[in-house]
Each structure stands twice: as structure tokens, then as C-alpha cells.
Structure 1
Amino acid sequence: MNQPKRYLITAALPYANGLKHIGHLAGAYLPADIYVRYLRAQKRDVAFVCGSDEHGTAIPIQAMKENTTAQAIIDKYHPIIQQNFADLGISFDIYHRTSSPIHHETAREFFTSLHERGELETKETEQYYDETAQTFLADRYIKGTCPNCGNDSAYGDQCERCGTALSPDELINPVSTLSGLPPVKKLTTHWYLPLNRHEEFLRKWILADHKDDWRASVVGQCKSWIDGGLQPRAVTRDLDWGIQVPLPEAQGKVLYVWFDAPIGYISATKQWAIDNGKDWQPYWNDKETKLVHFIGKDNIVFHCIIFPVMLQLHNNILPDNVPANEFMNLEGDKMSTSRNWKLEMQDYIDDFIKPENGGSQMADVLRYYLTAIAPETKDSEFTWKGFQDANNSELVAIFGNFVNRAFVLMHKLCNGKVPVFHNELMDDTDKKIIAQISATKEKVETLLEQYKFREAQFAVIDLAREGNRYLQEREPWKKASLIEKINKGEAEGNVAQLQQLIDNSMHISLQLTANLAIFINPFLPFTAQKMLHMMKVVDKILDWSNAGSMKLLSVGYSLRAPELLFRKIEDAEITHQVEKLKAGLAAATAAQQVADTKAQASAAVEIPAVKPEIVYEDFEKLDLRIGTILAAEKVPKADKLLKLEVDLGFEKRTIVSGIAQHFAPEAIVGKQVVVVANLAPRKLRGIESHGMILMAEHDGRLFFVNPEEAIGAGNTVK
């Protein structure tokens, strides 16, 4: 396969609503950075773009928590996140903002292009509306009880306790986070991307063209979505924070954040091109460009189904690969911001990346461990003990140990200079280690091209391990000791040949060290720079074309004194971090218990207010009848709804009732209920419902209102 003319690498845009943890770093940004550093070493034309996602409800919600404005929130967190990435060696070519004018312009143009060509649909649907706040509610502005785990603080898009993706209609007892009151349904018009029109394209492009080169988990998730039948997806929302929809009839509506955010890759590329005197268009429009999205698995549907449909309709190139990672857990539990069970990048930087604690080298320690446990094929787990072991047993004891030994011995046995290599004394041991250097280059290349970063890093560490074995087998220090004894007349031997053997072992070790700097650079860039300093060479040596060479360091060249690449991490440091983590969880748990207690106390005394007064004639309009449930079944794709067949004596009615979370269908057959018999028919999920079942509610549970004794169906209730 021909090498692409250029590369465009993206990493998922993080929400600028708070600090980001190491799970985010491991999922998208670190693997992307490793790949980009490798491409740069290959001298490929590459642009690495990312930026803050500054729209969506997460931003104003955080503003409410901090009692400030949405603009203040993004202005606060954008620079912090940007600096965190820089401190940990993530080398974006541009870290942009979706609040920028060029992004607003790009997103509006994208929407307008699709709209004018008839690629969008308009629909009038019922959405939740807060009558007190007088606003439609985005999913995150609705809270209720999760139907999956019973968490009474689940959001309208996801339960953060169990991780289940939700819709507002699935929540039990939903309330508005703005007023604390139950919302009502109100009609509103929105624009939709009809994904159902593009199932055939997606099926071929993903399930046929990329079934072998994409990760199985990515293809599997896409297949599940496609096989389940794709539905039109709204691209607009009734909000006041975001990019205004560029249509006169869409006042008060903004582009939905999932539509707006990925376009941020394009606007970031435009800004990067402006800043660097380049043309942005080939990076998005030329088929000789290789586009790769690095994301976490929770973003697969957006980057593999929705955004590709948008790109195809907009005549842009499609991603060549989307190497999504699974999730990284922490000390046996899922990372959670709400439960304070997390390790934020800022916390790690504050605790470890200080001159007295190892400085930027400790950034590389985190990079190393996160790559070693990268969740490439399944969820992985960060433990502080594992972090310590990776540093002490691998970076210190293997990689750092070899480099340090090579430099110490070079200064002790070769006067601090690169010794000459005597070809006539080369043996099979020398040839083997030289061959291993060349083989490592090919192995690392292959693995990185396949996005297998964990295995690639292991191959580099394994080469350092072989270097230690080589030195141990050669034992140049013993040869030097023998030379000293010969010179004292305490032993016999060929001093010249012994020195030549020392020279050969040290020459190979130093050339191996230079190769290790090239190989480790994509993974541990700060370490590579420190090695260059010790070798007194410039960055040019890190070009991938130099990898495998045994002439990287010139004979007779003086090298600096050795410096330890990594420090040992003590048990006390690890104990402190574990205790700090547990303390954070305990504090969050205690705070939640206080909040729950207050909520329960409030619920215990809070009785809904009596509705406005009516006259008897209003009540007389209701026709309440006794009915008997003859059959009940769940409504497909609607976890909250049951379809009931009810006998009213004079006829049988189909009634759709939102009680599926409270009753099993088979358990209510035969139950007598009170039915509002003269309610106008209404369609719910395509089923026409003729009536309403009266229910009583207490403590989040529903109860049937029915007679004490069975009476004939159709009798009136007065």
C-alpha cells in the first residue's frame, strides 16, 4: 500500500467544564501523541489537531455549580487543560477552541451546506419543557431515577452511577434541574440528520471495507448500531448557549453539540493552516490524506457513524481508522468525578512533576505506565502499586540501568569517549545484539502502524533488557581488572586484545543507547531529550531513518557524565496517594449522604400543592369508568411504556401507560383499574392510546386506584 501524502490526526475534543483525569489521557491523547511523534520522526507531513469543546449543556451546568457564566467556565478551564497536556508531553500542532469565530463560521457553513442540499429533515416533536423557567430542557437539565440501578440522580442522557445511556423519557419521575419541578411536554421543531438514509453506505464502509483493519470492538459496536436500525438524529437544540442555527426560522436554537464538536477538527485545521502559512483544504479534501481519529469507546458512534455521514455529505475525506480505546479503571473501581474517585492530570502534575520530585521525567513515568496498561482491547486498571512497579522494576531497573551502566563504564574504561570498533574481533554475541537493534526497528514500526502502542513500547524495553544481558555477558569490567593485574605482573594475557574487546562491547553499548533514544522518543520524549543531552547530540539524531544504525555516535567523541534517567519511587509516596484517593471518596460519599438526607427530609414533608380551583361542572366533564386489564405487553424500544388491552364493559380499549418501570406485564393482567374513558386519543410510539389509567404516587412508586371488591367493568366512578 502506498504511503499517504499527508496525515491528519485528531484527538477527541475534551469538554472545557472541568479538569480531566488520566483515564481521558490514556484513552485518546497519549496514543495519538505516540503515533504523531513516530510520524514526525518518519518525516511525514502530519497535522495533530485538538481543542476544547466549549458548547453543550455541560458548560452552563458547571457554570450553575460555580455560580458564574458559561463564558467564564470555558475561559477558566481551557488554558488549564491545555497546560496539563503540555506538561505531560502531548504535542498538539494546535489546541483550538470551539468558541472561536472561525469555528462558529465553519460549523454554520457546514449546516447550511447540508440544509440547502436537502440532506436534513425538519420534525415537530414533543420535548420536555420547564414551565417555571420557560425553556426547553436539554437532556442534562433533566434528572430522575435510573430505571437500571435506581439512582435517583440520573441525568436525561446517562446515569453516572451505572453508566447506562438514557433518554429523558426513560427516567422515572423526571424533574427539571432548573426549577426542581416536573417538566411538561411541548411541541418544538428541530432539524435532523436522517442516518437511516445512509445505512447501506455505513454497512459497506465499516462492516466490509474496514472489518479487518479496525479494532474488533469498534466494528462490533458499529454493527450493533446499524443492525438495530439507524434513526434520524437531531442536529439542533433549544438552548441559549452554543452556535446559533443560521436560519431565520430557527431563532433561539443552536447546533447540537455532537454536530458542532467534530467540525471543530476542521476549524482547528483551518486556524493551524493560517498560523503556519499552509493550505488547510488538502488535509480534509484530498484522498491522499490519511485521517485518523483517536477517541475513547464512548465516542465511537459519533466518529464512526454520525461524523462520517456528515463528512461524506459535505464531500470531505473519511477516516482511515478510528482506534478507540476501552475504559481505564482506578484501584478496582470505575473513575467517577461525582464520587471523587479519580486521578486528575493536574493532581499528578502537582504531586510529581516538580524539580524536587523528578521534574518532567515523572511525566514520562506516567506516560510509560499508561501505555503499558493501555486499554486497547479491553478495560484496564491503574493501581498505584502497579505504577510504582512499572517505574522501579522496568524503567529504573531495565532501561535506566542499561543506559547508566553504559555511560559509567564508558567513562571508567574508555576515558569518557566513544571507543573504536575492531571488526576483526566481532563475534556471534556482537552480531546478535546488532541484529536485535535492527529487528526492533522493524517490529516497532509495524506495531505503531497497527496502533499497537503497548506492544511497541514493550519491544523497546525488551531491547534495553537485551542490552543489560549483553553487558553482563561481556563483563568489560572484569577484562579491565585483568588488564590491571597483567600490568602489575600478577597475571598473564594480551593487554591490547583485552582493551579491544572492552572497546567493542562499549562501542556497541553506546550505539545501542543512541538507538534506544530514537525508539523511546515517541513514548517518553523527555527521556529521549535527556539522553541526547548526555550524548551531546542534536534532535536530528531522532529521525527514524537513523534507527538501526551503528554509526550514530562518532568514534572519539566525548560524552557527558551519566545522569540517572529515572528515580526510584518510595513506598511512602504510594501509600500517600492511596490514602489521598480514599479520603477523596469518603469526603464525596459523606457530602452525598448529607444531600440525600436533606432530599429525603424534604420529600417526607413536601406534598404537591393543590392545583387551581375548579367548579363541579369541570369535574362532571370527566367520564371515569372501571376497567379490567385483559392483556399487557411492553412497547418496543420504550422501557417506560406498557400497551394494555382494557375491558370497559361496553368495549375493549388499547391504552398506553407509563408504568413499565413499576409493574411486570404478566402481574397486572386481571387487575381492575379506573380509566378516564372520554380522554381524546393520543399516539405514543406509534400506538393510538384511548384513555388513561389513574394511578396514585408515593415515594417514587405507583399504585393502582381500584375498588375494594371486584365490580362489573364499565361501571362509573363518581
Structure 2
Amino acid sequence: ALLNYLTAAGYTSDEGKFAEVWPADVQLMAKDIFVRFHSTLWPAMLMGLDVPLPAHLFAHGFWTAEGEKMSKSKGNVVAPASLAKDIAAMSGAEIDVAVDAIRYYLMREVTFGLDGDFSLNGLISRFNADLANDLGNLLNRTLPLLHRHRQGIVPDPPPSSQNDVLPKMTAQMATEVASYLDKLQFSDALVSIWNVIGAANKYLEEQAPWRLAKDGACASRLDSVLYTVLDTVRTIAIALQPFMPYVAEKIWSQLGIDEPLTSQKWSDVSDWGRLKPGTRTRAPEPIFPRIDAKRGVPASRQTPKEEKEMETISFDEFKRLDLRIGKVVAAERVSGTDKLLKLKVDIGSEERQIVAGIAEWYSPEELVGRKIVMVVNLAPATIRGVESRGMLLAADVDGTAVLLQPDKDVPAGSFVR
């Protein structure tokens, strides 16, 4: 298994590719396989092969959920995709924004490398406080003023003497975040970014551009304040990209900058004043709607009850099941539903029609010709007007159906014992 690291990188098969990717700057693995395998056997194997060692080996910790070890029997396994859907439903945010919010929480909440405990309340707190209040409000309070009083067009930058605090802080942020990333200190890197976000919000409060806009004599000062905050947001978007790529793109898009965010260099974070005057920003659109606690927690996120121990059955009872290998010869969707498929299955002695709720995970086309495990002597049932005479077997993996199938080709109709 250890040699897969080398062969996947092209060792002995593609020397050009191997030279590009090896030695690794960082090799990451779980802490339970760190000392014996990756810190002892693995370096010894590489030295024996006269292959350079990775520059760094790093072991990550484990996550618990609400103070308990994750376990399917407890029903407390956190499925990221389901969690993102729930956060999107609770907040009204886009699903990709919810994904980035989870990324932020995981990297901000726990020092990378240590064990961490996932808490839904902790995630909601970070979403509302750090993302909606701090980052979201910084953009939401500035762009509407720009559109209301400057037609959404970026004004000229202020003389450097008017405000040198935020330019100095963004330069410091660029240095700190780069250093923290090199050391995989993601939480510290995000703290550094949020220090700048906090300072920019404080600057807004002190300068009160909403009051400056009411006084024509303060037009130049209003321009200076708006530009200072917007260019700070530009630097924040670049710094956030490694952590929250979709959110960073959303911010960048609202700023109206023509150059792709992916083309920006890290030095652009500390290069103050790169936001071009005259840039037409896009209409402001809140990225992080707050999660209202009154909406309640979705059922999928509620603390599950302990599963009851399954009742045992006798061997004679088990023998009553007629389990066979079937071959799917035809498949189509059941009209009027997006979850059901109608399958025609060859079970050796005959062909049976069954209805299976697997349309979310399998298309009809990929099922035709596949061997499955099927309960043949299940009582017939009518599902959505379609007769079903049997049931296929599948594993439930975090809410996803995974079909059971033989690991060798066996004839349709073979008995499962």
C-alpha cells in the first residue's frame, strides 16, 4: 500500500511526471498510521530505494460529534453533503455557500492536527457571527452605499496619509497567512484574515459613510472611505480563496473586477490600491443570510435516538428467505416520481418485475446487465401503480444506497446461502 504513493506519481512508469510531483512538499495522513508506518517504515523504504523523502509528514486528528465518537449505530455520523443541504435550508444561502461555511468552520474551530468535536450549534454560531455579521455585513453595508450615491462605480483612492491602518494590516495579513499556510496552521490564518475584517468594520463605524453621504461638502471624504473599504474587501477575497473558494468568487464578482480571481498572485494581497477607479460593481446581493434559530433544526440534524438492538431469528427462519442472484435485463424510471426505478430481472427460471427506490443513485442505463442480490419470495406489492415481485438488496452508507453484487461472475438464478 505504501508503494502506491510512488507508483501513482509515476515511479518507474513515467519519470517526467514523477520528477514534477516527487518529493512531496507535505504528505498528510491520519494519526493512527503516522508513527509506525509513515514515520518509520515509509522513510526506510524510500531510503532503501534511494528516493528522496517528503519534505514534511503531517498527521491529522479525528472528529467526534457533539462530544461522542461517530457511529452508525448511534446515528450521529455527520455527512457533509447532507449537512450542507441543511445549512442551506436553514439560512436560505446557496448550497455552495453552505459548503464553504462548513469548510470555514472545520478549519477555524480546531487547530489542524488535533482532535476536534463537531457541534451543530457551534457551526450555526460561526455562520451567524463570523460569516453573516462580520464578513457579510462588511460587503452589505458598503456596496449599497456605493450604488446609492456613486451609481455603483468605484471612486478615486484617497491620499495615503488619510488612512494607513488598513493598508498596513492587509500587508501584515498577507505575510502572516502565507506563513501559517506553510505550517498548516489554518485556524491561525483565518484569525489573521478576520482581524482585518474586524478592523474594516470598525473603520466603517468610525467614518460613518451613511452620514457623510448626507453632506455634500463631505463628497471627497465619502469617496475615500468607500474606496478604502472596497480595496480591503478585494484583498480579503484573495486571502479567502484557499479556504472558501466559492464565497471568494462571489465577493470578487460583486466587486466587478474583470481579471479572474484565479489569476491573482499572493503579492496582490499586500499591493494596496489595485482596485481600479471607475470599476462598475455589480448589484449587492447578500451572501450569508442569517440562520434564524426559530426555524428549528431539520429532522436530519436532530439528535437521534439510540437504535434498538435487532431481534434475533433462528436459522430455520433465515432459510425461509429465497435469495438469488438476478441479472437486470431492462430498467426505466417510474412515471411521476424521481426516486423509483422499474426493473426487469432474470432470476434463472423466469423474469421478474421489481420496483426499487434507487433512482437518486443509479440511472437505468448503468443497471442493465448488472448482477444483483434479490429476495425472490417477498409477497407481491403495488408501488405507484406498478407491481413489484421481489426486492433487491443494497447497503445504506450515510443515506446512500450501494447495491450488493457478487465479486465473481455467476449465473443468474444462483442461490445465495
**In the TM superposition, what is the alpha-carbon distance from 1:400 to its structure 2 partner?**
1.1
Mapped pair 1:554 → 2:276? yes
Mapped pair 1:506 → 2:226? yes
Q: Hey, what does 1:517 align to over in structure 2?
A: 237
CA contact (8 A) 2:140 2:285 kept: yes
Q: Hey, what does 1:563 align to over in structure 2?
A: 285
**In the TM superposition, what is the alpha-carbon distance from 1:582 to its structure 2 partner?**
2.7
**In the TM superposition, what is the alpha-carbon distance from 1:456 to its structure 2 partner?**
0.3
2:7 aligned partner, one-letter code: S
Residues 119-138 of structure 1: pairs in structure 2 closer than 5 A: none
Distance 1:307 1:571, change over 3 A: same
Residues 306-705 of structure 1: pairs in structure 2 closer than 5 A: 306-352=41-87, 357-376=93-112, 378-423=114-159, 426-427=161-162, 430-483=163-216, 495=217, 498-537=218-257, 538-540=260-262, 542-571=264-293, 575-576=297-298, 580-583=301-304, 585-586=305-306, 589-590=307-308, 593-594=309-310, 598=312
Residues 142-153 of structure 1: pairs in structure 2 closer than 5 A: none
1:267 aligned partner, one-letter code: T
Equivalent residue of 1:559, what SS?
Answer: coil
**In the TM superposition, what is the alpha-carbon distance from 1:338 to its structure 2 partner?**
4.4
**In the TM superposition, what is the alpha-carbon distance from 1:303 to its structure 2 partner?**
2.0
Distance in 2, matches of 1:368 and 1:284, equals 28
CA contact (8 A) 1:517 1:542 kept: no
Q: How many residues align?
A: 310
Unaligned runs of 5+ in 2: 316-417
**In the TM superposition, what is the alpha-carbon distance from 1:268 to its structure 2 partner?**
3.0
CA contact (8 A) 2:240 2:248 kept: yes
Distance in 2, matches of 1:481 and 1:284, equals 58
Mapped pair 1:281 → 2:281? no
Map Cα deviations across residues 302-326 of structure 1 (whole Å, 9 max, x no partner).
2222222222222222122222222
Distance 1:573 1:526, change over 3 A: farther
Distance in 1, matches of 2:180 and 2:281, equals 32
Map Cα deviations across residues 361-420 of structure 1 (whole Å, 9 max, x no partner).
111000011111235354221111000000001100001110222211221232211111
CA contact (8 A) 1:325 1:375 kept: no
Equivalent residue of 1:360, what SS?
Answer: helix
Among 265, 269, 273, the alignment partner of 2:9 is: 269
Distance in 2, matches of 1:263 and 1:565, equals 45
Equivalent residue of 2:26, what SS?
Answer: strand
Distance in 1, matches of 2:179 and 2:40, equals 28
Distance in 2, matches of 1:506 and 1:375, equals 35
1:299 aligned partner, one-letter code: I
Map Cα deviations across residues 608-666 of structure 1 (whole Å, 9 max, x no partner).
xxxxxxxxxxxxxxxxxxxxxxxxxxxxxxxxxxxxxxxxxxxxxxxxxxxxxxxxxxx
Equivalent residue of 2:303, what SS?
Answer: helix
- The runs of 4+ residues in structure 1 deviating greater than 3 Å are 349-357
Among 283, 286, 295, the alignment partner of 2:29 is: 295
1:298 aligned partner, one-letter code: D
Residues 253-264 of structure 1: pairs in structure 2 closer than 5 A: 260=1, 262-264=2-4
2:72 aligned partner, one-letter code: T
Q: Hey, what does 2:399 align to over in structure 1?
A: none
Distance 1:320 1:572, change over 3 A: farther
Distance 1:264 1:409, change over 3 A: farther
CA contact (8 A) 1:296 1:324 kept: yes
Residues 195-206 of structure 1: pairs in structure 2 closer than 5 A: none
Equivalent residue of 1:582, what SS?
Answer: coil
1:594 aligned partner, one-letter code: M
Distance in 2, matches of 1:291 and 1:446, equals 15
Residues 209-224 of structure 1: pairs in structure 2 closer than 5 A: none
Distance in 2, matches of 1:369 and 1:422, equals 35
Map Cα deviations across residues 259-290 of structure 1 (whole Å, 9 max, x no partner).
x2x3333333239x97xxx92221466xxx44
User: Of the two structures, which has the highest relative contact order with CA contacts closer than 8 Å and spacing of 6 or more?
Assistant: 2
Distance in 2, matches of 1:451 and 1:457, equals 11
CA contact (8 A) 1:521 1:542 kept: no
CA contact (8 A) 1:291 1:318 kept: no
1:456 aligned partner, one-letter code: A
Distance in 1, matches of 2:111 and 2:239, equals 22
Equivalent residue of 1:457, what SS?
Answer: helix
Distance 1:353 1:323, change over 3 A: farther
Q: Hey, what does 2:385 align to over in structure 1?
A: none
Distance in 2, matches of 1:349 and 1:380, equals 19
Residues 29-178 of structure 1: pairs in structure 2 closer than 5 A: none
Equivalent residue of 1:293, what SS?
Answer: strand
**In the TM superposition, what is the alpha-carbon distance from 1:503 to its structure 2 partner?**
0.9
1:432 aligned partner, one-letter code: V
CA contact (8 A) 1:541 1:552 kept: no
CA contact (8 A) 2:86 2:298 kept: no
Equivalent residue of 1:324, what SS?
Answer: strand
Distance 1:419 1:580, change over 3 A: closer
**In the TM superposition, what is the alpha-carbon distance from 1:348 to its structure 2 partner?**
2.2
Distance in 2, matches of 1:465 and 1:284, equals 39
**In the TM superposition, what is the alpha-carbon distance from 1:434 to its structure 2 partner?**
1.2
CA contact (8 A) 2:174 2:267 kept: no
Distance in 1, matches of 2:158 and 2:105, equals 39
Distance in 1, matches of 2:25 and 2:113, equals 21
Distance in 1, matches of 2:118 and 2:68, equals 10
Identity percentage of aligned residues: 23
Moved more, 322-331 or 515-524: 322-331
Distance in 2, matches of 1:357 and 1:507, equals 27
Distance in 2, matches of 1:448 and 1:403, equals 25
Q: Hey, what does 1:116 align to over in structure 2?
A: none
Greater C-alpha Rg: 1
2:125 aligned partner, one-letter code: D
Distance 1:540 1:552, change over 3 A: farther
Cα RMSD between the aligned structures? 2.7
Distance in 1, matches of 2:93 and 2:271, equals 35
